[in-house]
Amino acid sequence: MMVGPGICGEVAQMENLGDIKIGQRVQCNGHRGTVKYVGEVPPTKGIWLGIDWDDSSRGRHDGSHEGHKYFKTSEFGKLKRVILDDYGVNGAGSPGELQTHCPLIEELDLSRNLLSSWESVADIAIQLPKLRLLNISDNRLMLPENPIELQDAFRSLEHLIAGLLEYTWSEMMTCATMWPHIKSLQVPYNHFVVLEPSPSNVLSQLKFLDLDGNPIDSWAEINKLGKLPCLETLNVSNTGLTDIYFPTEKPDQKTDLFQALRKLCITENKISKWQSICELDKLKQLENLKIMENPLMEVENRATNRQLIIARIESLKKLNGVDVTADERRGAEYDYLKRYGKVWLELVKTQDEEQLRNFMKEHSRYPYLIQKYGAPDEGEFKVLSTTLKSKMISVELFSPNHETKRYKKMLPRSMLVQKLFGLVQKMFDTGNEFPKLTYISSKKPGVEIPLDNELKTLDFYSVEDGDQISVRW
């Protein structure tokens, strides 16, 4: 086995050695080491230095060359992480040699090498009893004749990276019988088009699956993975997906698939319909979603898209890497309820069952939000009078922490929340503290709605005569 960067120790040729002696400390390109050998290295000419580098990630071998041991490195046997990508590795080398020299390796990168079979990979792995992570991407490995017989070689393996192997999913599952304790599997940019459920004894402990860049195309194929009992994170980015669908009897019914799934990444796909987002609400445990670079995300501005997704997925706690706060959820849900209130009221009036079914496909949580915040008021959608009086509303501004500070003010319905912030800072003398505003409707006294969008108007939040605005800082 050819050993490269990641193994400390190197024999380096130098022209002007001066009085350099064994044991002397040296520095080269910012790396420090200790001289362990000074002399010739046949069949090459000249005098060479053998250096034991302080940084174990530097160096090409263990102080040996052409089968001759020139010096012994101090850290060679302590290595835990070795990177040998694109170093021409084609096998394990002499029997037992790897285990003798570096038995503590936990992470090994063998990507872009000359390995041709799983048997040769197993010959390497079986010498590394602590091997936890293995990268064999971009090799051309023939399928094993008896994969189960190779299980012992990968007994400690928990994380495998196997991209660009040109395998189908069926071929990958043939290999998967070799990895009895695998928990993380990254298999990007293979030839997966059609998937199939894995046997009960395969991938049973898998928590993380990365299918990035495979031309899977159909969510029906993704659903075939839905019975993996421990799967918590799934990456299906850049796979050509156009929609998401879980077969259930009712639009608001939870699916039995992906029982443990908490994080889903579907970036760089072709998802364009809100119905797909509603389908994600069927997942019982989904907390973390990444959905950038889909046509759906270009329909509205970024802030509005974020609100519409949060309102549609009840369990979501993080969206595109940003936490979803309780206040943000309340505001998103209330805005969503108001946004589609007029359509809902018209459908309730007409009792058109087909249109109601279509509405529920894109707004499956709408009835639940009505229970949470109350049904939209038809009066909110009536055309208002254009007189000056009708454009003004009387509201009470108060601070729960300062009961003496209560003010009644006439405010324009069209006032931006941004301007209200400025007014409140002066009235309540908040200093450098930025106030937090919530709206309390006289019609729904038990509900507080955060006024958290500075570019929305009071009218947008349906603030009316007699309502209250709470000020905290």
Domain at 466, CATH number: 3.10.20.90
* Residue 249 covered by a domain: no
- Indicate whether 371 and 399 sit together in one domain: no
- Indicate whether 343 and 397 sit together in one domain: no
- Contacts of residue 83, defined as CB under 8 A and 6 or more positions apart, other chains included, come to 4, 5, 6, 57, 109
Per-residue pLDDT, 247: 93
* Residue 304 covered by a domain: no
* Residue 429 covered by a domain: yes
Q: How far apart are CA 456 and CA 339, in angstroms?
A: 13
Per-residue pLDDT, 6: 32
- Indicate whether 353 and 399 sit together in one domain: no
Per-residue pLDDT, 260: 98
| CATH code, 30 | 2.30.30.190
- Indicate whether 442 and 458 sit together in one domain: yes
- Indicate whether 376 and 394 sit together in one domain: no
Q: What is the pLDDT of residues 407-446, one digit of tens each?
A: 888 999 888 888 898 888 888 888 777 888 988 888 777 7
Per-residue pLDDT, 1: 33
pTM of the entire structure? 0.73
Encoded amino acid at 14, one letter: M
Per-residue pLDDT, 123: 97
CB 467 within 8 A of CB 440: yes
Q: How far apart are CA 138 and CA 167, in angstroms?
A: 11
Q: How far apart are CA 251 and CA 244, in angstroms?
A: 13
**What is the pLDDT tens value at each position of the chain, 473 positions in all?**
333 333 334 444 444 566 788 888 888 888 888 888 888 888 888 788 888 877 766 766 667 777 788 777 667 677 899 999 998 999 998 888 889 878 999 999 999 999 999 999 999 999 999 999 999 999 999 999 999 999 999 999 999 999 999 999 999 999 999 999 999 999 999 999 999 998 888 999 999 999 999 999 899 999 999 999 999 999 999 999 999 999 998 888 999 999 999 999 999 999 999 999 999 999 999 999 999 999 999 988 898 999 999 999 999 999 999 999 998 998 899 889 989 998 999 998 898 889 998 999 999 999 999 998 888 877 666 554 555 556 888 999 998 877 778 888 899 988 888 889 888 888 888 877 788 898 888 877 777 888 888 888 888 888 888 899 999 88
- Contacts of residue 5, defined as CB under 8 A and 6 or more positions apart, other chains included, come to 57, 58, 59, 60, 83, 84
CB 190 within 8 A of CB 163: yes
Residue 33: how many other CB atoms lie within 10 Å: 24
* Residue 38 covered by a domain: yes
**3-state SS, residue 21:** coil
Pairing of strands 322-323, 392-399: unpaired
- Indicate whether 73 and 26 sit together in one domain: yes
What distance separates the 2 farthest-apart alpha carbons in the chain?
100
- Indicate whether 421 and 457 sit together in one domain: yes
Q: Give, in order, the Cα–Cα distances in Å from 405 to each of 428, 467, 471.
A: 7, 16, 10
Last residue of a domain, one of 55, 78, 101: 78
- Which of 108, 100, 59 has its CA nearest to residue 82? 108
The percentage of the chain sitting over the pLDDT mark of 90, rounded to a whole number, equals: 53
Q: Is the dihedral of CA 163, 165, 166, 171 positive or negative?
A: negative
- Indicate whether 430 and 456 sit together in one domain: yes
- Which of 452, 331, 443, 446 has its CA nearest to residue 379? 443
Domain range for residue 337? 331-381
Number of domains in the chain: 3
Last residue of a domain, one of 29, 56, 78: 78
DSSP state letters, 235-298: E-TTS---------SSTTPPPSSSTT--EEE--SS----HHHHHHHTT-SS--EEE--SSGGGG
Burial class (CB within 10 angstroms; exposed 0-12, middle 13-18, buried 19+) of 160 = buried
Q: What is the pLDDT of residues 135-184, one digit of tens each?
A: 999 999 999 999 999 999 999 999 999 999 999 999 999 999 999 999 99
Q: How far apart are CA 260 and CA 62, in angstroms?
A: 45
* Residue 309 covered by a domain: no
- Indicate whether 403 and 375 sit together in one domain: no
- Indicate whether 400 and 369 sit together in one domain: no
- Contacts of residue 101, defined as CB under 8 A and 6 or more positions apart, other chains included, come to 62, 76, 77
Last residue of a domain, one of 33, 49, 78: 78
Residue 362 parent element (H or E)? helix 353-362
Region of 325 (left: φ > 0; alpha: ψ -120 to 50; beta: rest) is: beta
